[in-house]
Structure 1
Amino acid sequence: MFARPFTAALLLAAFLPAGAALAQPTAAATFQTNDGSAAGTATLSEGPTGVLLRIEVEGLDAGWHGVHFHAVGECSDAKFMSSGGHINHAQEADKAPHGLLNPEGPDFGDLPNLYVAEDGTGKAEMFSGLVSFDGQGERAALFDADGSAIVIHEGADDHASQPIGGAGARIACAVLERAE
């Protein structure tokens, strides 16, 4: 019953250039630590309802770490405060509070936590339906006039308390750049 459509799909896929059927906008970022050391990468792919984020890091302390999209594409100072706060582009009075579990949240920058193993490496794949590359579907734009960054914090985000879920200091930062 399903053989013909399935076979047709396989044949079609065999004749398309690699990735042609799934072409989508992509972006990348390289993490640096507070001392300027390289700490890994992030790749982003935009889909119709949000952004898929894949993170691979090394050289971080073991355990859970908060991860957020920050409003400014800059990681120039040692504490990464130049990246601003979380993406939250609503008018000041309408800004959502922090937290994926907050009944009045989340803000546009909220993401799940990243787990780093005892050897200092971490890998995660996360999806956010709160952002897009250019503001599609009324989602926050990652590539607005001042860009965006991804920040990793020293501890876990509890996804509810203000302002950053108790995640602590910023320990790694990566500026988002569109892939060519």
Structure 2
Amino acid sequence: MPTALCAGSSKDKGEMGSAPAVIGSALIATASGTEIGTAEIIRAKGAISISVKVNGFEAGERALHLHSTGACDAPDFTSAGGHLNPFERAHGSLNPDGQHLGDMPNITTDDNGQATLTFTFSDDPDHLIQEIFDANGTAVMIHAGPDDYISDPAGAAGPRIACGVVKPAN
């Protein structure tokens, strides 16, 4: 874990009303290697958010998750492991035993093939940073279908169709 990302006080960049700080990012690509978007991990106002922008998909809703390993080996991206889930919770915001740390809302692509989503995690920011930037790294994953927010372990979201490895900001 990069200590510099966790060290310091709440007066650090991205805290207490200062400008948001991008602390990590990922280029998201399909199995063929086509880059289709980006994800930024942002620290601001005592919280961690992710901002995802993609294009090139058909219109529709798709699951978006953080996966436990920073690896995106094509064609199926199974190298990224399962959802980021250090507390071994069940899957989904609708599951009474959930949710994984890596569970996020679905992302919806419009008729022009574009989608954006910004999501603020409810977990402790310092702990979240430790989990995202641990020795295994983290991947941002897009699935072929929507997450149903309850089926364990992955929300019945279908195959993994795009992936990006989260890298710490310089």
TM-score tier, shorter chain, comes to 0.7 to 0.9
- Report the equivalent of 1:103: 96
1:51-102 CA distance string (max 9 Å, x none): 2111110111210110110000010221110000001113xxxx11100111
Output the CA distance in 2 between the equivalents of 1:176 and 1:160: 25
Query: Which ranges in structure 2 are unaligned for 5 or more consecutive residues?
Result: 1-16
1:106-150 CA distance string (max 9 Å, x none): 011100110001221111111112374xxx247861000010001
Moved over 3 A (4+): 47-50, 137-140
Stretch moving more, 24-33 or 168-177: 24-33
Output the CA distance in 1 between the equivalents of 2:73 and 2:99: 27
- Report the equivalent of 1:8: none
Normalising by structure 2, we get a TM-score of 0.83
1:22 to 6, 19, 31: 19
Q: Is the 8 A contact 1:130 1:139 kept in 2?
A: no
Q: How large is the RMSD of aligned CA atoms in angstroms? A: 2.0
2:64 to 58, 67, 73: 67
Structure with the largest fraction of helix: 1
Output the CA distance in 2 between the equivalents of 1:27 and 1:109: 15
Query: Which ranges in structure 1 are unaligned for 5 or more consecutive residues?
Result: 1-19
Q: Is the 8 A contact 1:49 1:129 kept in 2?
A: no
- The alpha-carbon distance between structure 1 residues 138 and 24, as it changes in their structure 2 partners (threshold 3 A), is closer
Identical columns (%) = 34
Bigger Rg, structure 1 or 2:
1
- The alpha-carbon distance between structure 1 residues 25 and 39, as it changes in their structure 2 partners (threshold 3 A), is closer
The residue type equivalent to 2:110 in the other structure is A
Q: Is the 8 A contact 1:53 1:127 kept in 2?
A: yes
- Report the equivalent of 2:106: 113
Normalising by structure 1, we get a TM-score of 0.78
1:38 to 35, 40, 51: 35
Output the CA distance in 2 between the equivalents of 1:156 and 1:131: 27
Output the CA distance in 1 between the equivalents of 2:55 and 2:128: 34
Pair 1:166 & 2:156 matched: yes
